Structure 1
């Protein structure tokens, strides 16, 4: 270990241009080649691609669904134990004070991890569960209880477990091995405690990194593509702008331009500026809806919805009674979030240096989820309240699982509907742009091997993912839908990479506590 540490930390020659751009890294060719093959097959025979993906999707859900449910549950529980015990005082990253102040750190976390789900899913999922009751709860006569159950189910999907898997345990491992031991800030480092040098060198390390890059690229390309589809639909509904490929193309080009400029401005400017303004806009919209919307329903729904979620969290987390429902809801979401896990951990490790384990885990596992739940109540809870008062006012627009339709049906019932609708579209765009920026950063870190990757390589990956999204939506919504299902398939190897963190993170946290005299 010491030899490896000395090798990493010792004197090295300056990297060449090829190394800076990752051209000598096999991960670039493995991940880039796989994405290129995916696009080529989509262009050649999209029907065949969809058939292959649907088969793989069904297999992943059936075989790995129960494992994913346990993995997320245990990650949350173990994380809380580490945060609340003496290990909670451990400082991460060999730094006494946080590198990024709290007022900037929290907005970056919220905007990056909440992403596009923070708007369209917040509007659509509560109304979806209100219309079609989750099987765990069953039919109830009271519209109020039906609404509470719908909110509680939505909270579970976007709450404690979803946030925990993005870095509660894995960030502890990466912080120690990267900052204290000098190992690379790459997904392969997560398996170093298990595999030793084999995880860092040769084909094994390259395959580990490539799996994670493919998963997060797919998970980012999908929302970028859906951004084009959803914004185009909304502009057509609001201003009769044609809802076609041209509009979708322009929307995605605009998004590419924003996060390319953000990437070129550097980590300490672009992402922080976007995150700060996005949080300001989100808070303003929350305050507005809370004031002019169904205030009593929102407050009561949030309190009782959170209480219902906590009361039923174990039954919801371990529910296996309806595999078909799980494949479209809980297990689908778990696969999506798992795919982001290692790369999000790299990003969180990079921005959380100097934080304690308690600060990191309680912010990720409790504070951020509770804020997310309140946001879902503000947006989706308002929609459910409108639906109860006027049946069909939201559900009709949502028919066919129309996510932007549900959002517009809600905003159109508020004062100044056009302005509010536009602000929500801007908010969605910045959410996804922030995620695109942060994920291009982490991909560039992995490919280049530097925690300060060249701005041009970050811009390159951002443009590549945007162009990929454009190609897929040119095939129709089926192209992006196939990618969304593919995200779940990519979660299979990634979930295996995350598994050892269940025992490695506690062991490393205890070792760090001892070293820091705690």
Structure 2
């Protein structure tokens, strides 16, 4: 009988996911216009018919995670009782933050507040006004703080609970054992869930790679006037793909941990620079006021749908973000679970949701606050640049207004590159894990293969439609995985209740499970 630490490749999951991914890349390479038309039609159907489901589900994930953290279940440890965490708390937080949102924050940290400032959400304020600036920060927090990290927390918590406490393989399908049984997990339904998780990870990663390539291209053009084109972006993707594959095969402890720690230091230095030379008083006022407004408007914003609001804006921003986070959830959730062994549910949820959210708010307050101040009382012009050249250039347009612009722009570009590498690095490892029956150290050739496919998918999406193509893929892949996430919540709840019904107190030892039987083919 094959043991879990000797698990071979799951041929069904691997070949199904690989063939679908390769077919998509080939379709996009050979007939990009036909693929773009088909995907756009599918996207329109999803938004029109099921957009509301993204809104409701995301609210539910946040509420469910917080309930578990502050309930009697919060004391349960994600591992054996008394087991201590593998990584220090600082490294743990740095890794989850770097992998979870690094490229996105670099890309949208200036671009999103400025865009909302020029075109206020749902027409709730006059463009380019102080009210528009306040609204811009509220929605930046809304799209990047509690809700997305709750999505990551749910997937990570469920995987960590069943993997480390119940002894099941580190797979998305393992979470469904209480619902469909061990036989169901090993059968077609369980395999389909894992294939879907691989595809969601692939395209979620590809979306971020595309964004990163666009921003690096903009940085190169700013520094050395190289021009901006798909050809340059594709070259960047190819080069970075080689680098993150080299990082990935070095393993989590050496690769991702090192890159994440380095990136956090560089990011903090960049933020401190902007806070020091920028409008520091305005930034602090923005942080305090925006957090208050965000908390006050959290419930109304969370339940806003196309029924009484701007449906086009909602689809292009809020629903896209919820779908993007969901498409990233199997990747980030699996990775966070991988590095969270030994944490309690309460510690896990609180740290995963609130600490990165706090850093995110500070990030937007400094980056976005400095840009908004420039528009309201400074040099201005950033909104016009974003309108003419796109969001990828927003950060560099801001840095150009401060001393040492060339140096800071180069540092920002390198920061994007390392976020690019660390995020794709972790994504490749996770896809390898999902195809290797949850093996925490998947074969290197498998990691290399998925890293290559992620780079190829990013290239296809970029050529197909730029930013719009990346957004389209994220939403389409997220739609079916949303159903999987809801099922994971139900399964976790059932498992927790079953533990109590059989007399297992939250702080006691977990019930044993036949690992060999679950891991068997």
> What TM-score do you get using the length of structure 1 for normalisation?
0.91
Residue 154, structure 1, aligned to residue 140, structure 2: yes
| Matched residue count | 500
- Offset at residue 234 of structure 1 (A): 2.2
- Offset at residue 230 of structure 1 (A): 2.5
Contact 2:104 2:211 in 1 (8 A): no
Contact 1:90 1:509 in 2 (8 A): no
Distance 2:290 2:188 in 1: 48
Inter-CA distance 41–505: structure 2 relative to 1 (3 Å threshold): same
Inter-CA distance 508–171: structure 2 relative to 1 (3 Å threshold): farther
Distance 2:112 2:296 in 1: 20
Matches of residues 38-187 of structure 1 in structure 2 within 5 Å? 38-94=24-80, 96-135=83-122, 138-140=124-126, 143-166=129-152, 168-187=153-172
Residue by residue, what CA displacement relative to the aligned partner does 1:15-65 show, whole Å, maximum 9, x if unpaired?
5xxx3xx3x521122111112221222223222111111111111112222
SS in 2 for 1:499: helix
- Offset at residue 303 of structure 1 (A): 1.0
Distance 1:12 1:412 in 2: 53
Inter-CA distance 392–517: structure 2 relative to 1 (3 Å threshold): same
- Offset at residue 81 of structure 1 (A): 1.8
Inter-CA distance 103–165: structure 2 relative to 1 (3 Å threshold): same
- Offset at residue 507 of structure 1 (A): 4.4
- Offset at residue 400 of structure 1 (A): 4.6
Distance 1:481 1:229 in 2: 12
Residue by residue, what CA displacement relative to the aligned partner does 1:322-374 show, whole Å, maximum 9, x if unpaired?
21111101011111111122332221111000001111111122121111111
Residue 462, structure 1, aligned to residue 451, structure 2: yes
Distance 1:53 1:285 in 2: 38
Contact 2:107 2:212 in 1 (8 A): no
Inter-CA distance 246–487: structure 2 relative to 1 (3 Å threshold): closer
Inter-CA distance 246–55: structure 2 relative to 1 (3 Å threshold): closer
> What TM-score do you get using the length of structure 2 for normalisation?
0.90
Alignment partner for residue 451 of structure 1, among 436, 440, 461?
440
Gaps of 5+ in 2: 510-521
Which residue of the partner structure matches residue 248 of structure 1?
Answer: 233
Distance 2:335 2:425 in 1: 11
Alignment partner for residue 22 of structure 2, among 30, 36, 46?
36
Which residue of the partner structure matches residue 414 of structure 2?
Answer: 426
Residue 360, structure 1, aligned to residue 348, structure 2: yes
Contact 2:69 2:346 in 1 (8 A): yes
Distance 2:222 2:163 in 1: 49
Inter-CA distance 506–343: structure 2 relative to 1 (3 Å threshold): same
Contact 1:172 1:505 in 2 (8 A): no
SS in 1 for 2:121: coil
Which residue of the partner structure matches residue 4 of structure 1?
Answer: none
Inter-CA distance 45–246: structure 2 relative to 1 (3 Å threshold): closer
Residue 291, structure 1, aligned to residue 276, structure 2: yes
RMSD between aligned residues: 2.2
SS in 1 for 2:78: coil
Gaps of 5+ in 1: 1-6
SS in 2 for 1:97: coil
Residue 231, structure 1, aligned to residue 216, structure 2: yes
Contact 1:111 1:434 in 2 (8 A): yes
Inter-CA distance 297–11: structure 2 relative to 1 (3 Å threshold): closer
Distance 2:127 2:30 in 1: 51
- Offset at residue 161 of structure 1 (A): 0.4
- Offset at residue 480 of structure 1 (A): 6.4
Residue 514, structure 1, aligned to residue 499, structure 2: no
Distance 1:241 1:353 in 2: 46
Inter-CA distance 419–179: structure 2 relative to 1 (3 Å threshold): same
Residue by residue, what CA displacement relative to the aligned partner does 1:443-477 show, whole Å, maximum 9, x if unpaired?
0001012111123321232123223434554xx36
Inter-CA distance 357–238: structure 2 relative to 1 (3 Å threshold): same
Inter-CA distance 12–347: structure 2 relative to 1 (3 Å threshold): closer
Contact 2:32 2:464 in 1 (8 A): no
Matches of residues 182-197 of structure 1 in structure 2 within 5 Å? 182-197=167-182
